[in-house]
């Protein structure tokens, strides 16, 4: 491997002509650098351009502008069969007229591999995905999960530098999905291949990835490790898309060092000692963002500067957590309270109408630029 | 009684299959038995049937003749065997030619833009709105000595100052082949189109992804996946071509006589229903044998029929 990056997209734009005759940018000036051996995910809601980006790496689509590089080489109009990447398709795209063995052998035959080598490599690939003994079956005679593994093995048997996966687990049930997530991750670590993984499931992306590109409307909103995108979302979209967030509109009152005071009109209060990110100035309109699990809730007031009175409007028990919805001077907030104690006693719940105190720890809040 | 019926799956099956069974019996089994009985009979002088058991009609069909030169008692007359052989080879050739023409066409249609596809399919179907016989007559008009093709050729040759004698195209085996191919082309295009159209784009992409270029993708993915269409089309074309007599009657005249013509003439001109019946049965057996071996190897193209 010569290049530091397995795959690089430089300022890539892909425009389509819609059936209505309009031009739309499915991918809009995307730049990504994916390191060798990295598990990289593209995460975003439906239609944000994930598949289109992946297809440009695979060679099924060509960028309207910009360039895709694989192993440092500009791809231009290189056809898919000359790129050292392989794809696991969302629909699996298995060859129904071939057995599992023939499906796997296909790619090796195209390389001109010898029969005994094909046999060895197919055997190893089947072992890797735990399908040994299934080689004479037709794809139709396999369960969804098994078909998924065949699709995976068919791509892996080619020992690509980069494996592209487009929502490969989309068709599986939740339990199998979770198992496969861990298996895929383990496989990727064991093989050391670069994975580019497309999903719209944030939990899946957080579970598996080394880095995530959060996409929206053809643009990359944020790129970072799972911890970074969850704990330090760079804008309101990311904060809202990954996990859940409370947003309070406010205005920066004063800045001292890297801490700021923010006035929140809806709470009619000032939040002090908040960590501030670059580029924010005094007097700027901002969004204060707090994760629901990071708000402390108490029945009595404690001595703390960032405490507010609130009224419980609703509670929902969901097993692991209790969701508490409150109204603080007109600002609606949601709080996830972990059920560390048994809630069998009804008195252990907050009741609707109850007065509580909320504590916002400065280190758990985030000041985001107003979009 | 009703209760028992409700519980018994096999009784339900029998009852549900009853209409079909009756239908098959009246329209297929009984006529078939009648044909068989007649084929073992002897022609009466007035063109009726004398019911006996004789294999004369069959031996005659396979070349046994008592009407011999040199006063021999019996000899081999290849007349009918030739007719059978000609029908068989024509059916093979027609089917092969139809596949060769239909496949690229179907491929072209299946790969066309969805908006244009319906238009092309419509074009394929339009001829079927005209009566079969009329379409054959149209070919007669084209192929005749004074027909459209000869007129155009003559005009062209005249323009180029090349001497030209009108071509004898009508009443040749070639004319019958052209007519057959034309008549049965749509029955091959449609099933092949259906099977090609069912191949999803990701399969082509997967093949390319795994390293196959366009030719290899076609040979390893497209062609095998469209075989059910070819198989279904072959059955739809081969069987009727074996039996039809209209095309050869109109375009072949006295020159190209097929089993179909033989049978028709036995019933209408020669007034020998017993010989006609025997020929019908032999035609059926021949078709069955070919179809049997064909479907044993390739199936019925049921993927197409089921879809
Ligand atoms: N061939 C095409 N022609 C026209 N528009 C297209 C084409 N392919 C994709 N698009 C449009 O580009 C946008 C992005 O599509 P894309 O398939 O990349 O989304 P995605 O992020 O993969 O979504 P999903 O999660 O639903 O798969 C969509 O609005 C889609 O309608
Ligand atoms: Mg997609």
pLDDT digits (tens, 9 = 90+) for B279-292: 999 999 999 999 99
| Ligand 2 center to A166 CA (angstroms) | 7
Q: Residue A158 and residue B211: Cβ atoms within 8 Å? A: yes
Residue A276: both structure tokens together:
């501030």
Distance CA B208, CA A155 (A): 12
User: Which two three-digit tokens encode residue B109?
Assistant: 């249609």
Compare all CA atoms of chain B with the CA of A164 and give the residue at the minimum distance: B209
Tens of pLDDT, residue by residue over A87-108, are 999 889 999 999 999 999 999 9
Task: Examine the pLDDT at A341 and tell me if it is beyond 90.
Answer: no
Tell me the two tokens of residue A249.
């509109």
10 Å CB burial of residue B218 (0-12, 13-18, 19+) is middle
Does residue B66 form part of some domain?
no
Find the mean pLDDT for residues B164-186.
Answer: 92
Q: Is-contact A316 A272, C-beta < 8 A?
A: no
Provide the mean pLDDT of chain A.
Answer: 91
Q: What are the structural domains, with CATH classification, of chain A?
A: 5-237 (3.40.50.300), 244-369 (2.40.50.100)
**Whether residue B1 sits in one domain with residue B95:** no
Residue A222 bridge partners (DSSP): A214
Considering only the C-alpha atoms of chain A, give the largest distance between any 2 of them, rounded to a whole number of Å. Answer: 76
DSSP state of A150: H
A339-347, Cβ contacts within 8 angstroms, sequence gap of 24 or more: A343/A317
Q: Is the pLDDT of residue B44 over 80?
A: yes
Atom number in ligand 1 closest to CA A49 = 18
Arithmetic mean of pLDDT, A245-253: 91
Would residue B192 count as lying in a domain? Answer: yes
Give the distance (Å) from ligand 1 centre to CA of residue A51. Answer: 7
Nearest-CA residue for atom 25 of ligand 1:
A46
Å between A145 CA and nearest CA of chain B:
19
A52 Cα–ligand 2 center, Å: 7
Could you tell me which residues of chain B have a Cβ less than 8 Å from any Cβ in chain A?
Answer: 200, 202-203, 205-213, 216, 220-221, 224-225
Question: CA B32 to CA A118: how far, in whole Å?
Answer: 55
Residues B35 and B101 in one domain: no
Q: Are A42 and A53 in contact (CB under 8 A)?
A: yes
- Could you report the per-residue pLDDT of B147-156, keeping only the tens digit for each? 999 999 999 9
Mean pLDDT, range A213-227, rounded to an integer:
96
CA of B121 to the centre of ligand 2 (A): 32
Measured between CB atoms, which of B209, B213, B221 is closest to A95?
B221
Chain A nearest-CA distance from B303, in A, is 12
**Residues of chain A neighbouring B224 (CB-CB closer than 8 A):** 97
Q: Give the span between the Cα atoms of A318 and A326, in whole angstroms.
A: 17
Contact B208 A80 (CB under 8 A): yes
Of B205, B213, B224, Cβ closest to residue A93: B205
Residues B87 and B165 in one domain: yes
- Predicted local confidence at residue B307, as pLDDT: 37
Average confidence (pLDDT) over A40-52: 95
pLDDT per residue as tens digits for the range A288-334 = 999 999 998 888 777 667 788 899 999 999 988 999 999 988 889 99
Q: Closest to A97 (Cβ–Cβ): which among B202, B206, B224?
A: B224
Q: Which ligand is nearest to the CA of A89?
A: 2
For the ranges A30-44, A215-229, A353-367, B7-21, the lowest mean pLDDT is seen at B7-21
pLDDT category at B305 given cuts 50, 70, 90 is very low
Residue nearest to atom 7 of ligand 1 (CA): A16
d(CA B99, CA B105) in angstroms, rounded, equals 10
- Total count of domains within chain B: 2
Same domain, B220 and B153: yes
Amino acid B12: pLDDT: 81
Assess if residue B243 is contained within a domain.
yes
- Tell me, what's the pLDDT at B61? 92
pLDDT in tens, B250-270: 999 888 889 999 999 999 888
**Same domain flag for B22 and B162:** no
Nearest CA to ligand 1 atom 11: A26
Residue B179 CA, ligand 2 centroid: distance in Å: 50
Per the CB < 8 A criterion, the answer to whether B90 and B173 are in contact is: yes
- A311, A354 in Cβ contact below 8 A? yes
Average pLDDT for chain B: 90
Question: Residue A255: CB partners within 8 Å, gap ≥ 6?
Answer: A261, A276, A280, A281, A282
* Closest CB from A91, A93, A110 relative to B216: A110
Do B104 and B220 reside in the same domain of the chain?
yes
**CATH number of the domain encompassing residue B236:** 1.10.3720.10
In a domain? residue B74: no
Q: What share of chain B is helix, strand, coil (3-state, %, to 5)?
A: 75, 5, 20
- Residue B71 belongs to a domain: no
Q: What value does the mean pLDDT take over residues A58-86?
A: 94
Q: Is residue B205 part of a domain?
A: yes
For residue B11, the model assigns a pLDDT of 79
φ, ψ for residue A68, nearest 5 deg: -105, 135
pLDDT confidence of A259, banded at 50, 70, 90? Answer: confident
Domain that includes residue B35, residue range: 1-39
CA distances from B240 to B124, B174, B183, B260 (A): 19, 18, 10, 10
State yes or no: pLDDT of A2 exceeds 70: no
User: Are B28 and B98 in the same domain?
Assistant: no
Q: Output the pTM of the full model.
A: 0.81
Are A96 and B225 an interchain contact pair (Cβ–Cβ within 8 Å)?
yes
Q: Considering only CA atoms, which of B94, B93, B252 is closest in space to residue B185?
A: B94
Model confidence at B302: pLDDT above 80: no
Rounded CA separation A198/A221 (Å): 15
Mean pLDDT of A126-132: 90
A31 closest CA partner among A42, A23, A18: A42
Residues B30 and B86 in one domain: no
Q: How far is B230 from chain A (nearest CA, A)?
A: 15
- Selected for mutation to probe chain A from B196, B198, B209 (highest A CB count within 10 Å) is B209
Q: Which helix (H) or strand (E) holds A224?
A: strand A219-224
Domain shared by B167 and B29, yes or no: no
Q: Do both B14 and B95 map to the same domain?
A: no
User: What percent of chain B clears pLDDT 70, i.e. is strictly above it?
Assistant: 96
Res. A258 pLDDT band, cuts 50 70 90: confident
Taking only the tens place, the pLDDT of each residue in B81-112 is 999 999 999 999 999 999 999 999 999 999 99
Q: Is residue B181 part of a domain?
A: yes
Q: Quick one: pLDDT at residue B2?
A: 66
Confidence of residue B242 (pLDDT cuts 50, 70, 90): very high
User: Helices A144-156 and A174-191, interaxial angle, to 10°?
Assistant: 20
Q: Is B101 left (phi over 0), alpha (psi -120 to 50) or beta?
A: alpha
The yes-or-no verdict on residue A19 having pLDDT over 90 is no
Q: Both B184 and B126 in a single domain?
A: yes
Q: Which residue has the tokens 């907050």?
A: A350
Q: Which atom of ligand 1 is nearest to the CA of A18?
A: 4
Position B304 scores a pLDDT of: 52
Same domain, B165 and B260: yes
CB atoms within 10 A of CB B77: 16
């Amino acid at each position: 491997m010569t290049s530091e990056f397995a795959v690089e997209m430089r300022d890539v734009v892909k425009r389509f002509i819609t059936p209505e005759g309009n031009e739309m940018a499915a991918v809009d000036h995307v730049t990504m650098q994916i390191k060798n051996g990295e598990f990289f995910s593209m995460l975003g809601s439906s239609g944000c351009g994930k598949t289109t980006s992946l297809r440009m790496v695979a060679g099924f689509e060509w960028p309207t502008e910009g360039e895709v590089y694989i192993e440092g080489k500009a791809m231009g109009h290189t056809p898919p069969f000359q790129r050292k990447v392989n794809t696991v398709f969302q629909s699996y795209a298995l060859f129904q007229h071939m057995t599992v063995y023939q499906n796997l052998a296909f790619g090796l035959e195209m390389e001109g591999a010898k029969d005994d080598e094909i046999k060895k490599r197919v055997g190893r690939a089947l072992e890797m995905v735990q399908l040994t003994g299934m080689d004479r079956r037709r794809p139709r005679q396999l369960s969804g999960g098994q078909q998924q593994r065949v699709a995976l093995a068919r791509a892996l048997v080619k020992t690509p530098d980069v494996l592209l996966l487009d929502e490969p687990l989309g068709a599986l049930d939740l339990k199998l999905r979770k198992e496969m997530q861990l298996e895929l991750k383990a496989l990727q670590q064991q093989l050391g291949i670069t994975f580019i993984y497309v999903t719209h499931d944030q939990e899946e992306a957080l579970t598996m990835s080394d880095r995530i590109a959060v996409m929206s409307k053809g643009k990359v909103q944020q790129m970072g490790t799972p911890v970074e995108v969850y704990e330090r979302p760079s804008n309101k979209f990311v904060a809202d898309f990954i996990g859940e967030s409370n947003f309070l509109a406010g205005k920066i009152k004063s800045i001292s060092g890297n801490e700021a005071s923010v006035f929140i009109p809806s709470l009619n209060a000032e939040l002090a000692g908040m960590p501030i990110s670059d580029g924010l100035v005094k007097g700027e309109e901002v969004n204060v963002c707090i994760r629901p699990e990071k708000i402390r809730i108490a029945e009595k007031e404690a001595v703390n500067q960032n405490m507010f009175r609130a009224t419980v409007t609703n509670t929902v028990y969901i097993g692991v957590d209790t969701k508490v919805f409150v109204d603080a001077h007109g600002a609606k907030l949601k709080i996830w309270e972990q059920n560390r104690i048994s809630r069998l006693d009804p008195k252990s719940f907050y009741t609707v109408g109850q007065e509580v105190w909320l504590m916002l720890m400065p280190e758990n809040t985030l000041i985001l630029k107003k979009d | 009684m009703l209760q028992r019926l409700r519980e018994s799956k096999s009784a339900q099956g029998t009852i549900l299959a009853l209409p079909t069974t009756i239908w098959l019996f009246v329209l297929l089994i009984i006529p078939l038995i009648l044909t068989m009985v007649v084929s073992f009979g002897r022609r009466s002088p007035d063109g009726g049937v004398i019911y006996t058991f004789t294999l004369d009609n069959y031996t005659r069909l396979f070349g046994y003749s008592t009407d011999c030169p040199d006063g021999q008692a019996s000899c081999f007359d290849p007349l009918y065997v030739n007719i059978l052989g000609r029908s068989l080879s024509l059916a093979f050739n027609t089917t092969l030619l139809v596949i060769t023409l239909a496949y690229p066409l179907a491929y072209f249609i299946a790969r066309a833009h969805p908006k244009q596809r319906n238009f092309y399919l419509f074009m394929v179907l339009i001829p079927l709105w005209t009566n079969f016989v009329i379409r054959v007559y149209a070919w007669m008009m084209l192929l005749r000595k004074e027909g459209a093709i000869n007129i155009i050729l003559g005009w062209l040759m005249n323009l180029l100052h090349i001497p030209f004698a009108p071509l004898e195209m009508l009443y040749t085996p070639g004319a019958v082949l052209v007519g057959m191919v034309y008549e049965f082309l749509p029955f091959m295009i449609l099933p092949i189109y259906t099977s090609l159209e069912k191949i999803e784009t990701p399969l082509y992409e997967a093949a390319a992804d795994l390293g196959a270029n366009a030719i290899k993708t076609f040979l390893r993915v497209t062609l095998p996946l469209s075989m059910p269409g070819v198989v279904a089309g072959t059955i739809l074309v081969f069987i009727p071509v074996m039996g039809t007599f209209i095309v050869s009657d109109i375009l072949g005249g006295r020159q190209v006589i097929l089993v179909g013509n033989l049978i028709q003439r036995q019933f209408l001109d020669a007034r020998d229903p017993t010989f006609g019946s025997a020929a019908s049965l032999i035609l059926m057996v021949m078709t069955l044998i070919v179809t049997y071996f064909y479907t044993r190897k390739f199936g019925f193209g049921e993927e197409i029929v089921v879809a």
